[in-house]
Amino acid sequence: MNLTELNKVALAMVAPGKGILAADESTGTIKKRFDAIKVESTEDSRRDYREMLFRAKEAMSQYISGVILYDETIWQNAKDGTPLVKLIEQAGSIPGIKVDEGTQALPQCPGELVTAGLDKLAERLKKYHERGARFAKWRAVIDIGHGIPTMTAIHVNAHALARYAALCQAAQIVPIVEPEVLMDGDNDIDRCYEVTQRVLNKVFQELRVQRVALEGMVLKPNMAISGKKCPKQAPVEEVAEKTVRLLKACVPAAVPGIAFLSGGQSDEQATAHLDAMNRIGHLPWGLTFSYGRALQAAPQKAWSGKSENVAAGQRAFSHRARMNGLAAKGEWTSELEKKAA
């Protein structure tokens, strides 16, 4: 393992004013997104859509540090035969790959999940590295509900995240460690804070046990936020203050950066929360974004599967990328949002 090189890639992933595009939707998930814009999900339409994003030069070169790809996408070529991985590199971004294989029911723990994909991961990582991937992503899912999460679910998922991270570093790939506490329930922000604190503490304990070099990873957590069904939604300032306090309590300063997931927040909400956190300042690590839907909903709608709409789709993508790039520096305002829209 060359830690200097891993650290260099990790720092580039969280460079000031840049963030990560999560374009790693599974075939099933992107079908739902395409259904919403009345586009048939085929290998070609998925390729065309992602090629549109990767060829959006302004967005990619100025605001996107890296792109998380799905297994299908990393092997695809653009219409002109250029590997999509090369398009990302040519734009000055770093190609990455989602390596988990989704979730399955956790035995003896009703309503809880564990992420699969550790089997043969070492061999897969080797092939992905040869193809150009320099970082990877593994998502663990923790739900909040009556009697959950259990310590079992937290422990099993933290262990798998750390095992994945160790295998990535052995393959000279930077791991994005993503423990996502879902925001789907009726819990308030303080319950989310308490659960996320337990999860992060366990994750970092497991990372240390498995000798993962913290300088060569990026953390992708949820924010401390109210559940979607909670009658009282915490305001932006409270989300920012509590999330920063939580991270300072749990995340060692050796970690180069934190790239938040949007987790079902609206486009503007995800941007506003990130901006408010960066305005607090004096943080030991970079705080940026690793958004999927919050970066892509607008360009998908503008594109709608039509080649004549490619430029409109790219403009919509560039706008969202720029807004989040500003938020990653604490320079976003709702006035800028309206002006550029």
The domain segmentation of the chain, as residue ranges, is 3-340
Please give the helix or strand (H or E) that residue 325 lies within, else none.
Answer: helix 310-327
Rounded to 5°, angle at Cα 101 from 99 and 102: 120
What does the pLDDT read at residue 338?
A: 80
What does the pLDDT read at residue 241?
A: 98
Kindly state the greatest CA–CA separation across the chain. Answer: 53
- Is 329 an active-site residue? no
What does the pLDDT read at residue 263?
A: 86
Please give the helix or strand (H or E) that residue 22 lies within, else none.
Answer: strand 19-23
DSSP type of residue 254: T
Residue 341 pLDDT class (50, 70, 90 cuts): low
Name the nearest CA neighbour of 328 among 10, 13, 5: 13
Q: What is the pLDDT of residues 106-160, one digit of tens each?
A: 999 999 999 999 999 999 999 999 999 999 999 999 999 999 999 999 999 999 9
Residue 57, CB half-sphere, CA atoms under 13 Å: how many? 1
Q: Find the catalytic residue in 18, 98, 137, 220.
A: 220
| Cα separations in angstroms, 176 against 2, 126, 218 | 17, 17, 5
In the chain, % of residues over pLDDT 90: 95
Q: What is the mean pLDDT of the chain?
A: 96
What does the pLDDT read at residue 340?
A: 60
Q: What is the pLDDT of residues 54-108, one digit of tens each?
A: 999 999 999 999 999 999 999 999 999 999 999 999 999 999 999 999 999 999 9
Strand pairing of 64-69 and 94-98?
parallel
Name the nearest CA neighbour of 323 among 281, 294, 303: 294
CA–CA separation, 296 vs 53, rounded Å?
Answer: 9
Token pair of 69 as six digits: 């790809």
Residues whose CB falls within 8 Å of the CB of residue 222, separated by 6 or more in sequence, listed in order: 180, 181, 182, 183, 192, 196, 260, 261, 263
Give residue 12's identity as a one-letter amino acid code.
Answer: A
In the chain, % of residues over pLDDT 70: 99
Q: How many helices (H) and strands (E) does the chain have?
A: 14, 10
Fold of 3-340: TIM Barrel (3.20.20)
Token pair of 38 as six digits: 């009345």
Q: Following CA atoms 122, 125, 126, 131 in sequence, which dihedral angle do they give, to the nearest 10 degrees?
A: 170
Three-state secondary structure call for residue 236:
helix
On whether the CB atoms of residues 191 and 165 are closer than 8 A, the answer is no
Q: Find the catalytic residue in 178, 180, 206, 337.
A: 178
CA–CA separation, 94 vs 92, rounded Å?
Answer: 7
Q: What is the pLDDT of residues 217-250, one digit of tens each?
A: 999 999 999 999 999 999 999 999 999 999 999 9
CA–CA separation, 38 vs 40, rounded Å?
Answer: 7
Q: What would you report as the CA-atom Rg of the chain, rounded to the nearest whole angstrom?
A: 19
Residues whose CB falls within 8 Å of the CB of residue 256, separated by 6 or more in sequence, listed in order: 7, 10, 11, 13, 14, 215, 217, 218, 285, 286
Name the nearest CA neighbour of 160 among 110, 104, 215, 94: 104
Three-state secondary structure call for residue 116:
coil
- Is 178 an active-site residue? yes
Three-state secondary structure call for residue 282:
coil
Name the nearest CA neighbour of 154 among 190, 189, 113: 113
Q: With a threshold of 0.85, does the pTM exceed it?
A: yes
Residue 264 pLDDT class (50, 70, 90 cuts): confident
